[in-house]
Structure 1
């Protein structure tokens, strides 16, 4: 990538990395402020669970919007830029909401933006990885982790130390970061050339075809997509459980101080970052299956430590160990998706991204529901089971060998 023709790809890689980081920062400021929202509006864990469910449902809508926008001349670059601006707008609403009903509306808009950004970042990342011709996805996700760490630490630093509402201060900072990332993506994001009709609508994508009675076969191997979807669901069950409930778990269950509780999420994101920085070289050296299985086993071990933790520091250590393993699962699933239907990666990614919110509902809502009826300690058992299933089935997720020869998901190791 040293010739002048490679400059657009290099600039796009930087811009999309900034998009991942901006999303991570805004997301972390929102989720680590949930305890503050409980205090501000006098709500309980059950109402927080309903808000998380609403965000997940609206995010699925955002993914559908992303799929449609990606088929226009603007492509996934506009999907990501518009999604970041939607997130910024929603976070402003949440920051200044005078009553809980307005907050719920802000979170609904946030969900749409979240779905667009999640799909847009993966669409852009897969396209850039294809242009470079080597594994880059875990590196992009590392940028998300950097943003998330900064957001979580920012919230921890502002709790009890600002003259105004600390939740509003944190969220408005997230808005600024999201807007700056959106500007960078819209200016330098990867421009994918797709066939577009005179009316501005992309030509029909045969990747969306479902085999019919006439024996025709769609481009997308749906069995492989469903298998990758299992990995995405398992990761997001664990990730959403940690991102949504770690602060509350450390504070309410393990009785950590208010300034300590957000550090559980920060510790998780720190080790997630480390695993993602190492992920691409490890995949090139050992292959996707080995990295995926090892990550799943380490992640499950960390969650077991969380469940058994006798106090805040042990809980913090458990979240850190979990991040060290879980961080590679989602990017490797989306990386594999980019190989399933060359030329139609956006369509595959959009559909795989829906599994994100299936996992988010289970992780944020099911874990919260269990916590509301018994204890969050038992809620964290749910992601342990699913992550172990991924470890068992890792051999069917396919591998990209050092030679660069892709073997599609669903193939043996």
Structure 2
């Protein structure tokens, strides 16, 4: 049954909107994942060391980081749904252009022709990722129940599909450009179809004020609502807030989110909360980054797995994320964001510990599966908490957390590359369990107190 925020939408319209958002997540996961099982092949084509490879693969997250706070004004101009569709198609094109150069290999100019499209794809992904999450959150508000973990489950399913497609193409020795052209056309068509189902700008404009009104009626601070504050480093236009998003039953009162200790002003509290929330989200994406850029190399170099077996580390991780996110909404509603995040961080530490200790490829694949299961709900929970940080306007919490996550992507692969050349990939992988411990400590800031 629709929430008061979505009461003007029919159940059928809400189902169509949820399908549209889900397909956008699936496409976003699948397009880039098609490239990942073939990274060892690209590394060999350019004859890269682990250290140089670690810097090459950050082209995508570097582009994401350079996008900065661009998603918010773009979404305000085109709407979250249309932005996500256009971004998805453009990402597929950039991945194809990178694949053309990566399939050739060779000197510096060809390497640059591989890096530049990847960087542009990263910039587009930062915009697309924020837009699809904003669209999903608006559908969630309209429905009045948690659906964000299931959205991210579809992203993981897309990554599984893309990873299997890449592994199959590698086994069939399909040319990289042909493989990526086929996947790009296929998933671009899916994105365009999704665009016919998403909430329109007009519908979103009606959902948000109604959700705001409902949240304020459910729980206002005793001294009244705080005015929206700008975050340091962001313009007024790009620092717009979402305390009103606390309509959903599992989120609790918006006012309770303001209960942070100390006497710091609202803007300072918002920054601190976003930083701590980002520790949790960064741990989740570090697992994904390790799986995407390093799992195939780890299995092939350290454990001497075949090319086909090496691709299964990523597939296992993403398959586990899909399962965890599919069940995540129900588990979060039952156990809460904090408990789920702490259990997930323990799973990450155990899984990566198994990978490091693994004597054979099969054991390492099992470790990647466990780490993927542990990371499943970390990013969705962090997005949920960021969207409820008080004193901000729509889009800011999501954009800031997304931007900080991409900064972690930027630093992890070079670190792993340099450490692996010096000490080996096994020891380099230990950075993730350390991050998992920090996530356990920071998870308390995902808490949304129950209504009173």
TM-score in same-fold range (> 0.5): yes
Distance 2:329 2:83 in 1: 26
- Is 1:54 matched up with 2:59? yes
Contact 1:288–1:400 (8 Å) recurs in 2: no
The question of 1:325 aligning with 2:329 is answered no
Number of the residue aligned with 1:77:
81
1:38-49 map, 5 Å: 38-49=43-54
State the distance in 2 between where 1:311 and 1:174 align: 32
Q: 1:381 to 1:216 in 2, by over 3 A?
A: closer
Q: Which moved more, 1:339-348 or 1:353-362?
A: 339-348
**Counterpart among 114, 118, 133 of residue 103 in structure 1:** 114
SS for the counterpart of 1:89 is helix
1:154 maps to what in 2?
165
The correspondence for 1:140, drawn from 151, 154, 159, is 151
After TM superposition, the structure 1 = structure 2 runs for residues 8-407 of structure 1, keeping only pairs within 5 Å, are: 8-72=13-77, 74-97=78-101, 98=104, 99-162=110-173, 164-165=174-175, 167-193=176-202, 206=228, 208-210=230-232, 217-218=266-267, 221-341=270-390, 344-399=393-448, 405=451
SS in 1 for 2:31: helix
Distance 1:365 1:400, change over 3 A: farther
> Does the C-alpha gap of structure 1 residues 79 and 20 become closer, same or farther in structure 2, counting only changes over 3 Å?
same
Query: What is the distance in 1 between the residues matched to 2:61 and 2:84?
Result: 18
* CA deviation after TM superposition for structure 1 residue 68, in Å: 2.1
1:278, CA displacement in angstroms?
1.0
For the 8 Å contact 1:86–1:112, the answer to whether it is kept is: no
Please list the CA deviations of residues 196-233 of structure 1 after superposition, one character each: whole Å capped at 9, or x if unmatched: xxxxxxxxx9553559xxx9855982222111111112
Q: How far apart are 1:187 and its partner, in Å?
A: 2.5
Structure 2 distance, partners of 1:62, 1:43, is: 27
Q: Distance in 2 between matches of 1:63 and 1:138?
A: 25
Which residue matches 2:243? Answer: none
> Taking structure 2 as the reference length, what is the TM-score of the superposition?
0.80
1:83-135 superposed Cα distances (whole Å, 9 cap, x missing partner): 21221110120122253221112212111122122212222222221222211
What do the CA deviations read for 1:140-188 (whole angstroms, capped 9, x no partner)?
A: 01001111111111122222414x42x2243223312431243134322
Shift of 1:343: 8.3
Instruction: Give the 3 Å change call, closer, same or farther, for CA 107–233 of structure 1 in structure 2.
Output: same
Q: Are the equivalent residues in 1 in contact too, given 2:277–2:442 (CA < 8 A)?
A: no
User: Alignment RMSD, CA only?
Assistant: 2.6
Q: Residue 273 of structure 1: CA displacement?
A: 1.0
Instruction: Work out the CA distance in 1 between the residues paired with 2:187 and 2:56.
Output: 21
Deviations 1:293-314 (A, max 9, x none): 1111111100111111112111
TM-score by length of 1: 0.87
- What displacement does 1:253 show? 0.9
Offset of residue 263 of structure 1: 0.3
- The aligned residue for residue 409 of structure 1 is none
Unaligned runs of 5+ in 1: 196-204, 407-413
Deviations 1:237-264 (A, max 9, x none): 2221122100110011110011110001
Q: Specify the alignment match of 2:238 in structure 1.
A: none
More divergent stretch after superposition (290-299 vs 360-369): 360-369
SS of residue paired to 2:158: helix
